[in-house]
Structure 1
Amino acid sequence: MTEYVWPNDPTVLAKLDWWRDQKFGVIIHWGPYSRLGVFESWTLCQEGDDFMARPDPWSDDPEGYREVYEKLPEGFDAPGFDPEKWAAACAAAGMRYVVFTTKHHDGFAMYDTALSDYKSTNTPLGRDVAGEVFDAFRARGMGVGVYFSKADWHHPDYWVPGRDTPDRYANYRAREEPERWQRFAGFTHGQIEELLSGYGPVDVLWLDAGWVRAPREDLDLPRLAARARELQPGILVVDRDVHGPQEDYRTPEQTVPAEPQPFPWESCITLGPFWYTFGPGETYKPAGEVVHLLCRIVARGGNLLLGIGPDHTGALPVGVYERLAEIGAWLDVHGEAVYGTRPCEPYESEDFVFTRRGDTIYAIGLRTDLDEVRVPVSRIPRSVGLLGHDGPLDWSAEDGAVIVRLPDGHRVSHAFALTLT
């Protein structure tokens, strides 16, 4: 793997420290594709993976399907769209920042771009979706991240009309048609400039479509990143999967590194089976599974970016709200062991994961059915506490361990956290 390049701009380093303290964010996918209940933009792509399969009756008719897909905005009214309700639920869940899809690979802008008519304000919904989302989450004290796809399968200078589109790449060689490519690059820079100059403070520019990279598809990311920081000093630029100086943190998708990493990172993982709500009857991870996931990620030095998304009406399902409320209730009591912490040896041991802030080590127990626990330690602590319990604890020490008798009747959901000072 290419070595991580630490930023040298002090304002970026300060923002990176802030971001590493947040620990828990939400990524929200949504667009007119939700009217069909398909894998975001991917059904336009003809690479043959199962998730790219076109729905019936267009399974063998890519051109007919594209014509239908491009007209989806004409019926995009979304009467259930309520960004304040989304923001309230995510804030109550203990999430500290949002990343919202301002434009996915299909090129549809979920904001009021002046550079295209293919946008949310030009639909029956008629609203600047991203702007409202950012305002609602910012009002709750949360950070803001702009998701933006560097690819654009709608733009005629990326997928040229009348030419085959066999894969996700531009359907021509940029070096063979440099004027066309430069028009597309200028369009891309222009849209990002709109988002970073007209939508308030932005903390993260989260660039997707990692195949759009030099030398094949060169958007001049150094210039783009420099301009981003002129507009938003200190902004984190995350050119996903393109390791180098424009990837301020790394973003493993639907997976968690097996051990602590020597660089900032964030696992983006969905709450349900998909990045947004395809339809009724979807199942979601239990809240306890998400809590354990968060604790393991934080103990390994990362952040969790939990993926949710509304259905075609703009409403989040009841099951999502229920999970978020349950996760938030746990963090209300145990957030001290999560936010603002850093990894701490031994990181993980049997049913414990470990974090640290200053002189305090947090031993987060992932089993809640025990009356007595044995916590491995390198030094005997001066005191031992239990988050959510105000009284003294019955504990003793032996070589390399602290034995803690948990209070009678003390039972918490999902996990508990001991403080070792």
Structure 2
Amino acid sequence: MSSITPTEAALVPTRDRGSYAWYVLFLLTFAYTVAFIDRQVLNLLVEDIKRDLLLTDTQLSLLQGIAFMGSYIAFSPWFGRWADVGNRRNILVFGVGTWSIFSALCGLAENYWQLFLTRAAVGAAEACLAPAAWSLIADYFNRERLPRAMSIYLMGPYIGGGLAMIAGGMVIGSMGSLRELAPVLVNLEPWQLTFVMIGLPGVILAIALLTIREPARGAQSIGTRDRNFSIREVIEFLWQGRAFYVRFYLGMALIVIVLYALPAWMPSFLMRAHGADPTTVGLRYGVLVLIMGSAGVLSGPFVDRWLARRGHADSPIRVAAVASIGLVIFTAILPLMPGFAGALIAAAGGTFFFSLPQAMSATALQLATPNRMRGIVASLYLFVLSVIGLGAAPTVVAVVTDRVFGDPSKVGLSLAVVCASSAAGAAVLLFSALPHYRRALEQSRQL
């Protein structure tokens, strides 16, 4: 029998609340989109920031990775626990407003360390999003609709990554007109103005999130009891399921290396190797990320259902394992493709395959984890992905370019080496995780 408190009973009482559930999902997806716009716009501005602040590729990679990731991983477990015991709507309002303000403040940075610290603040605040949003979605949608809901939510990074490139390119291309409209901006460099213009609208979104009603906590098909678990119980659960969680976390982290490395350095590769200008790269690569990333994440549930109909109980993880093989192929051929268009074709394939498993991996965690553990499990998942993926990916590519090849024009080759190797490792780990995931599902049903 469900032990719902009187306070929870006064909240939204049941899952699958019709149009309102989809409204909530729209706001959460929009929040994730805004998060990735604020996170990824730096990638288009690499060459301008490098020139104005006199930085190396390695220093820039620290802005892309460590500055954001260090604070993100530090705050992820805290936000995850808060999401399990607190009001998730309020967590989101606080986090979205905070990261938007600091994203705009990145545009006022006058030196490397000011930009580093403001990026760190953005990362700390963005750590709130996944644990709160994932937990809300799992309470608003039942088992049948959860994969589709998660796939829509997880379009956010690809819509956001694409719009970051497109909007950044448009701001850079419209500097003259913007300065005429607002003379106060005349002293800002194009990259600074881009941060300001993209960061501030997020404050409006934070206000809009106040319209979300906190739903009653409820389990999916993997259990019926709704109670708080102690930290000790969470640790014991994860330890018992370590054969799955360790393989899954590390395998997905290796896929995320590709997810972050490719967008981080693809614009520079197109500019350095193919002579493209930032506006062209922003528009064309931005549209590619938006279309192919969205197509990949939306295709995940279809592939999952196709595998499930053929008797694969581990279909969510199997999607990720198969996607890793596609990633190996498309990232390995990146520097071999002829011309600007050829490079975009390889990037399109890579973008599709690193986005394909994202919704199903999130769904797999929701299904294999009791309700009141989902926030902390999601935050630990993102902690691992951030340390290995977001933290390492940009810097590893930069170090290979600077130290191994010693030539900035070889960044495409660095991308191929790092991304193809990571994807191959992911395939090994994820295929080996399949039987352990099936056991994890059985274990979670007993709690």
Q: TM-score range by the shorter chain?
A: under 0.3
Which protein has greater RCO, CA pairs closer than 8 Å, 6+ apart?
Answer: 2
* TM-score computed with the length of structure 1 as normaliser: 0.24
Whose helix proportion is higher, 1 or 2?
Answer: 2
Whose strand proportion is higher, 1 or 2?
Answer: 1
